[in-house]
Structure 1
Amino acid sequence: MNGHLDANLAALRKHCPAFFAWWKDCPSQPGAYNLLSSLSGLPDLEIEQPGGRRIILYNRENPFETVREELADQSFPNGGLSFLFGLGLGYKALHILDAMDPSHAVYVVERNPDILRWALSLHDYSAEIRSGKLSFVVPEEEELRRLIEEQNSAILNGRIRLFLEKYVRLLDARTARLHDICHSQFNVLLMNFNTVVKIGSTVIQNEVENLPKALLGWSPEGLMGGDFRNRPAIIVATGPSLQKNISLLREAQGKALIISVGQTLRVLLAYDVRPDIVCSIDFGEPNYLSMSDAIDKANMPLLMHPQVYPRIPFEYQADLFVTLDQSNLLTPTGGNVSSPLGNAMTVAQTALNLALAVGADPIVFTGQDLAYGESSHIEGATYGKQVTVQGSRIIMKNEQVTKNQEVYWVPGYFGGRVPTNSGLLAFLEDIEETIRRNSGRRFINATEGGAHIAGTERMALRDVLKTHCDQEFPVADYLAAARRPLGTDPRRLCRMLETSRKHVDRLLQRVEKLERTTGKMKSLLPEDGEKCSPQQRHQLGSLNGQALKSFSSLLESLEEDRLSRLATVRIKHFLIRMEEPSSESGEISASAERTIRYCEELCAGLKDVCPSLLEKIDRVHPLLDEYATVSADLKSSPPGRGAEAELRLRLGNCLQKMGHLGMAAEELERAARSETSRAAALEALFSLHLNRNRFELAGECLERLPDGHPKRDAFRDLLMKKQDRERGRLLERARLCLDRGDFVGCLLACRTLTALHGDSPDIQRMLDQSLAMREERILEAQRQTQTERKRGALRDERDRHLQIARLRIKEKDYAAALALFRELSESDPRDEEAGLGCVQAYEKLQNWEGAEAEIRRLMQYQPERGMLFRELGNILLHLGKSEEALKNFRKAVELDTGGNDLCLQIAAILSRAGKTADALPFYERHLKENPNDYRALVLWGDGFLRLGIGAAAKLSYETALRIRPGYGPAVERLKRLQPTASS
């Protein structure tokens, strides 16, 4: 045994030095460790903790065979990883090392040095440790996170397994926590990666399409000048709990930096709350639809990701701050990017990154539920869903879609556990990790609902406003002063796009060539059941070699250009997951078919992606080229001449196509000052204002057109028709929103109608109804908040009375305890702790009838609770109702899914009551599930002995000694049996 330990320690010292150093300095854990022998002869381990609690690690007749059966359907492929949280005596590690493919690797996370010493003494792992197949990890959070970051490829390909030994949650909560952290971090990585894989092509096309608008945005670096340092920031998300606080946010305006996610904008504006800055990063159309009816009312800056859905920045006419990292197309050559604000899983995480980057302190969350109540979002947010939990599934429904996902339970804001899904769990972990890395800041969770966010303190938003938002500061002025150009050269972008266009064209040409080759190969493949002729084999072999060479070359060329590399990530990921193409095969036709399959997948993927990418480039390149050319010519043009006016006209038209409508209007107004360009400039201005539904400004342009302008009457007709059409559209939208209870949409539409067309009785009526609905929501939220506070106060008061009642039990003042527990039960009949307290007090007072009545009352509310049936059985025994007691005991075991300890408890109750024959079946059931529980075997033997069945008792005691040699009670009982046996 010591030989194994010495060999293992020597290997660990050399190949896992950090872990060896940790283990050497780790003190022994409190408790007694007893090596047992299972009935199969394999070792098991009993741990007796301080206080008498006993844990047997495996408790199976054959621990190794049990592990093999548990893992029978698990594979351990090449390139994969298995993490074992808890080594135990090493049976799981031994099985995986035996069953895994050659390049699989196993990592052990074991925090108990005593268990580890036993495992290293029982088995020789030194060869596996030296080869790198088995590694031991320092069981600390930082080390695990670092290791996970190093193993991205295995994680992202799904070749990873996490195993948590059953005993760990009973024995070591910290190792269980490490397992949960790793599970969450893997979840975060996979979600990020899967997003890129699924929509990588869309993302890069968005980035290209956004270039003209983002080019003239502002750098976020200007926001980090210190104006917001040590100022409060409030991050507003769309969780359903925002309803409780949304009306309070008006009080924070001018006293805190209010950062809103894009989806919240329409709701905030409907409640007359104007956030200071809005964040938007999501790539898909739903992101645009969630804020489309609020964009034209937004006059605050937008912090955008370069790959955001293009209609958002194109239509957004306030200031744009553009997040950049080193990989973005807009990043200036050699430019330093200090704060990757957009590199986040969620827009709320981006808002948090922004608050951290500007130096805000404290940082306050509201609407950040990250879990579900009855709905997924605040009322008025688009794509909100009704939520129910059914067993292990969480069901989310709205008019368009129903989602059914696995439910996860996380700590709640008000305590207890609340339901969430894998996506929100990943977001929660991401935010908690950010908070953990910024421990010097103060984080306040003022959501008043949803999940608890580790690292935050809990505080109502009203208290936050009183405590931290009591000083005004010029938020808008600070934001205006923060505007700094990105410094991106449009000519560089043009050259880059031209290079990418040529590269993508070449890719498509090579696809055509490869398709011709695979077409020839397919024509040579034999029909089913036929064999290749020698000539066919020769031709197929030659073409197969050509195709493989072309395939490899084409695949490599995807990495030569950034646009093609990102646009084709999904294709490459799919190819990686397919079997490896090879020219070596027993039959050339099989090899050719495999090559064709691979080549067709690559060609189909490129033909799907490349044309749309070329379309984006061809649309964007001329705009950037025109802007660069006109801007340069304008700088060199003499001021005040006709040439300058023509250039400003061109620049205005170009800026309009780029989405910079405010800048375009300025240039067109300058061009209109020149006689030669006035008419054309005013026509362009008219078109610009008409497209933006700025009807008053469009009408002014008409009045400024020269007398006799040939298009004036036609333009006037256009204006009147567009006004009527837009008024009708908005009226219809307002009515539809009102009919379905969307007061937010109705309110926004009515306000736009009033601004564009003036007031009318119909509009005012709908506006009044919407405002009344809004007021009702505010009052409802206030009532809900008051109710929750009352509940909280009552809950605290109940907890205080429960503590007093428990203390009275300890003091043996059972009558006083009973009075307190009864008062608590009467106020909340479903309170199990109060009810069981009554039962305990009745039992101590020997009032078994009272105990029976109370336990039966509790069972009305929890008819499937096994423990209540056990307690009732115990009470009935004291009342002399043996048969009824047995029925309840059996029912308790039937209901209790993990009823092993319950069987033992019932057996002990029956034995103490003198019902030995009735106790034996419960001992037997316990031992079937816990065959290495040598103490229970002795108790079972005692039962046989009391019934006069000496042979069965002797067998039980001997079996206990096989498991735990020298166990005193078993030895003593066997000695007592010997004279009986000899006589």
Structure 2
Amino acid sequence: MEGNIFAKNLEVIKRRFKYIYEKLDKLNTANRIKENIKVISEVAKDSNIVLKVNIGSKEYYLSSKYKPVEEARKLVNAQDLKREGIKILFGIGNVYLIKELLNYMHEDGKLVIIEPYLDIFIKIIESIDITHILEDERVVIWIFDGDTESLGNMLDMYLDWTKTEKTKFILSPNYDKFSKEESTIVLKVIRDLLVDNKLTVNTILYFGKMWQENILKNLRYLLESSWINNFKDSFISLPAVIVSAGPSLNKNVHLLKQINDKAIILTGGRTLKILLEHDVKPDFVVTIDGSEKNYKLFENVDYSDIPLLYSPRTHYRILEQHKGKFKIMLNSDRFTYNLFMKYGIDTGFVGGGGSVSCFAFDIATKIFNCSPIIFVGQDLAYTNGLIHAIGAHDRLNEISVEDNPNLLYVDGVMGDKVVTDYALYNFLRWFERRIMYDNSGRLYINATEGGANIKGTIPMRLSEVIDSYFAQATSIEEKKREEIEKKFKIVDDNTRVEIIKELENINKDLSEILDKVNKALELNKRLLNGYDKSTLEELESIDNFLNEKFKEGSLLDDFLLSISYEVLNHEINYEIPEKANVDIVEKGEKLYKGIKKAIEYSLPILQESLKEIKSRPCY
């Protein structure tokens, strides 16, 4: 009997969970996650199969040995669960709990099951027919063998940023007793990812409208700019210095003048003024932030003779104020990337990591292919209680450490413990992951002389770096100028005309979409009066039209993402059918009103940009 159950389960595993099947296929003693565990199947009082785990002299039942089904139902009812969203269950041992969770969950939900013991998983598929669980498209199963990187990559696929508020971690009965270490590790991976996702959500909700305005107003500069992919391998094996505005920058910023002509220096707006005051002219200024606050860092600073690497989302006045020739686009949004790709131009896509330093890092490594990479001012911590270097800050430059729940301690580069917050810690982890995954043999040096230790870097004083790597180096100033001049290319006249036509078509499309959305709002209200087949069919037709128009890479992406978050987190009460109908109508109304608002805001700016593009001399 057990053989038949195992074969049935294995057939589905082979089809749906190939990586687990391969693990089972190669199974030997060394593959077992724990060797001191014995898993036994027993028959409960209600005739259902239950599992018992023996570890040393202790035994643990993974479900009730009397009434496992009834207990599972009570467990689910006791949880503060939403029917939608993602549930992460640690431990597969209680099959009845899984069944009850799936019964409770909405059809759009997702159940990620993480099992730390391969032995338990094997005993389950040998003893209990779980094909209905394995077949359920909502179910994802992961055997955790201690590899947090693989676990994080898997979870990252399912932890949808739009549903962070609906993610729930559930611990299967008794796993906290015999698998406490593993559950703690897994929970930390989940929390870190949720922090990442929460930052993404907060960024989108806060900046969506602002990004939209900047992309639209920056359209006029795109056709006069070169793009980052043109500079691939331009400075291969040349040293790059990434200058950030951490508090420790004041210790050694004056030394950068000694290597100004011997390295590629990249910086952001916050450090630009400090560098220029120390007679250090960076080779590239990177700007990605679309806020007025970011523009203020550039205001009253002359940077027109410095190549500007910019995201289309950056504040439009930063580009407006740069009167020089060398504007180079960093594509960090899908719309501009797809717009150029349509005409065979691969601009390159720089993902970055949410900060100017992250973008500068990706440019120096993935585009320029520099080595070594030298960090200066990259504290990623509140060194001496300061937020930024003196001269790079706003009015407030100190942080209160006492009784601040948003702060944590991390290892410092000087062997001490330093204070940071979750946002900076997130950037620290980003750099460490990038360095860890780099197989090029590239050297990374942390010459910050303060702040957090960045794993994978060699801590050195900047003076030591200069003595060790630049003492015999010759000037590369001429090579830098030649490469920038040679690689700087803009779209040809024919492509320019075609892109302008495409923008004009988008202008027409948005007007048509606005008409459709207004119609959808009228139709949506009719549904409050009850089921109406013709109304539903008409709404479905409009929805299909909108889905087609708003494929990934739409001009309204940034604005619509914030709308999507609000709509997807709109609660629908499925317990009461009458209430569910009202909730669905309200959800539709939010979507249509959101699109209407986005278009009414964006259309005039797009039209003004088109007018400006056509009036510029090269048209």
- State the alpha-carbon separation in 1 of the partners of residues 31 and 520 from structure 2: 65
SS in 2 for 1:381: coil
Work out which of the residue numbers 258, 273, 287 in structure 2 matches 1:266. Answer: 273
- State the alpha-carbon separation in 2 of the partners of residues 278 and 297 from structure 1: 8
Q: Decide whether the 8 Å contact of 1:490 with 1:625 is kept in 2.
A: no
Are 1:205 and 2:219 an aligned pair?
Answer: no
Cross-structure match for 1:345: 354
AA at the equivalent of 2:154: L
Are 1:462 and 2:468 an aligned pair?
Answer: no
Q: More strand per residue: 1 or 2?
A: 2
Cross-structure match for 2:476: 474
Q: Decide whether the 8 Å contact of 1:83 with 1:109 is kept in 2.
A: yes
- State the alpha-carbon separation in 2 of the partners of residues 238 and 170 from structure 1: 41
Q: Decide whether the 8 Å contact of 1:323 with 1:340 is kept in 2.
A: yes
Are 1:312 and 2:318 an aligned pair?
Answer: yes
Q: Spell out, residue by residue over 1:591-647, the C-alpha distance to the aligned partner (whole angstroms, 9 max, x if none).
A: 5x66764565345434533233222223221222123xx546xxxxxxxxxxxxxxx
Structure 1 residue 320 displacement after superposition: 1.6
AA at the equivalent of 2:613: L
Cross-structure match for 1:369: 379
Q: 1:626 to 1:202 in 2, by over 3 A?
A: same
SS in 2 for 1:492: helix
Cross-structure match for 1:217: 225
SS in 2 for 1:240: coil
AA at the equivalent of 1:469: F
AA at the equivalent of 1:619: E
Work out which of the residue numbers 480, 488, 496 in structure 1 matches 2:502. Answer: 496
Q: 1:112 to 1:73 in 2, by over 3 A?
A: closer
Are 1:239 and 2:246 an aligned pair?
Answer: yes
AA at the equivalent of 2:393: T
1:487-566 alignment runs, 5 A limit: 487=491, 489-511=495-517, 548=539, 552=543, 555-556=546-547, 558-559=549-550, 562-564=554-556, 566=558
Q: Decide whether the 8 Å contact of 1:412 with 1:450 is kept in 2.
A: yes
SS in 1 for 2:226: coil
- State the alpha-carbon separation in 2 of the partners of residues 131 and 542 from structure 1: 30
1:882-901 alignment runs, 5 A limit: none
Q: Spell out, residue by residue over 1:567-593, the C-alpha distance to the aligned partner (whole angstroms, 9 max, x if none).
A: 4333344333336799x9769xx95x6
Q: Decide whether the 8 Å contact of 1:324 with 1:337 is kept in 2.
A: no
Q: 1:151 to 1:515 in 2, by over 3 A?
A: closer
Work out which of the residue numbers 380, 388, 396 in structure 1 matches 2:400. Answer: 388
Cross-structure match for 1:335: 344
Q: 1:92 to 1:155 in 2, by over 3 A?
A: farther
Q: Spell out, residue by residue over 1:397-453, the C-alpha distance to the aligned partner (whole angstroms, 9 max, x if none).
A: xxxxxxxxxx45544434565444343333233323322331322222223333333
Q: Spell out, residue by residue over 1:526-575, the C-alpha distance to the aligned partner (whole angstroms, 9 max, x if none).
A: xxxxxxxxxxx69x969965984686367447527932455433334433
AA at the equivalent of 1:364: I
Q: Decide whether the 8 Å contact of 1:188 with 1:429 is kept in 2.
A: no
Q: 1:612 to 1:267 in 2, by over 3 A?
A: same
Structure 1 residue 33 displacement after superposition: 3.6
Q: Decide whether the 8 Å contact of 1:324 with 1:341 is kept in 2.
A: yes
SS in 1 for 2:78: coil
Q: Decide whether the 8 Å contact of 2:412 with 2:452 is kept in 1.
A: yes
Q: Decide whether the 8 Å contact of 1:446 with 1:459 is kept in 2.
A: yes
Structure 1 residue 306 displacement after superposition: 1.7
- State the alpha-carbon separation in 2 of the partners of residues 135 and 506 from structure 1: 41
SS in 2 for 1:413: coil
- State the alpha-carbon separation in 2 of the partners of residues 211 and 276 from structure 1: 25
Cross-structure match for 2:282: 275
Work out which of the residue numbers 464, 486, 490 in structure 2 matches 1:486. Answer: 490
- State the alpha-carbon separation in 2 of the partners of residues 107 and 602 from structure 1: 29
- State the alpha-carbon separation in 2 of the partners of residues 188 and 146 from structure 1: 13
Q: 1:16 to 1:86 in 2, by over 3 A?
A: same
Q: 1:170 to 1:579 in 2, by over 3 A?
A: closer
Are 1:577 and 2:569 an aligned pair?
Answer: yes
Q: Decide whether the 8 Å contact of 2:16 with 2:135 is kept in 1.
A: yes
Structure 1 residue 476 displacement after superposition: 6.0
TM-align CA RMSD: 4.5
Q: Taking structure 1 as the reference length, what is the TM-score of the superposition?
A: 0.52
SS in 2 for 1:324: coil
- State the alpha-carbon separation in 2 of the partners of residues 595 and 274 from structure 1: 57
Q: 1:167 to 1:86 in 2, by over 3 A?
A: farther
Q: 1:442 to 1:167 in 2, by over 3 A?
A: farther
- State the alpha-carbon separation in 2 of the partners of residues 320 and 288 from structure 1: 16
Q: 1:60 to 1:93 in 2, by over 3 A?
A: closer
Structure 1 residue 331 displacement after superposition: 2.1
Alignment identity in percent? 22
Structure 1 residue 304 displacement after superposition: 0.7
The answer to which structure, 1 or 2, has the higher relative contact order (CA under 8 A, 6+ apart) is: 2
Q: Decide whether the 8 Å contact of 2:162 with 2:201 is kept in 1.
A: no
Cross-structure match for 1:449: 450
Q: Decide whether the 8 Å contact of 1:445 with 1:459 is kept in 2.
A: yes
Work out which of the residue numbers 600, 603, 612 in structure 1 matches 2:601. Answer: 612
Q: Decide whether the 8 Å contact of 1:558 with 1:565 is kept in 2.
A: no
Q: Spell out, residue by residue over 1:434-485, the C-alpha distance to the aligned partner (whole angstroms, 9 max, x if none).
A: 2233132222222333333333233332322222233133236414532321
Q: Decide whether the 8 Å contact of 1:332 with 1:487 is kept in 2.
A: no
Work out which of the residue numbers 98, 105, 129 in structure 1 matches 2:134. Answer: 129
Cross-structure match for 1:426: 426
Q: Decide whether the 8 Å contact of 1:240 with 1:369 is kept in 2.
A: yes
Structure 1 residue 303 displacement after superposition: 0.8
Q: Spell out, residue by residue over 1:654-675, the C-alpha distance to the aligned partner (whole angstroms, 9 max, x if none).
A: xxxxxxxxxxxxxxxxxxxxxx
Q: 1:119 to 1:556 in 2, by over 3 A?
A: closer
Task: Specify every segment of 5 or more residues in structure 1 that has no aligned partner in the other structure, as ranges.
Answer: 49-53, 395-406, 526-536, 633-983
SS in 1 for 2:378: coil
- State the alpha-carbon separation in 2 of the partners of residues 415 and 61 from structure 1: 50
Q: 1:494 to 1:81 in 2, by over 3 A?
A: same
SS in 2 for 1:260: strand
Q: More helix per residue: 1 or 2?
A: 1
AA at the equivalent of 1:424: L
Cross-structure match for 1:436: 436
Structure number, greater radius of gyration: 1
- State the alpha-carbon separation in 2 of the partners of residues 68 and 448 from structure 1: 56
Q: 1:19 to 1:550 in 2, by over 3 A?
A: closer
Q: Decide whether the 8 Å contact of 1:436 with 1:455 is kept in 2.
A: yes
1:636-647 alignment runs, 5 A limit: none
Work out which of the residue numbers 338, 359, 364 in structure 2 matches 1:355. Answer: 364
Q: Spell out, residue by residue over 1:897-951, the C-alpha distance to the aligned partner (whole angstroms, 9 max, x if none).
A: xxxxxxxxxxxxxxxxxxxxxxxxxxxxxxxxxxxxxxxxxxxxxxxxxxxxxxx
- State the alpha-carbon separation in 1 of the partners of residues 611 and 33 from structure 2: 71
Structure 1 residue 308 displacement after superposition: 0.9
Q: Decide whether the 8 Å contact of 2:225 with 2:490 is kept in 1.
A: yes
Are 1:622 and 2:611 an aligned pair?
Answer: yes
Q: 1:102 to 1:597 in 2, by over 3 A?
A: closer
Q: Taking structure 2 as the reference length, what is the TM-score of the superposition?
A: 0.79
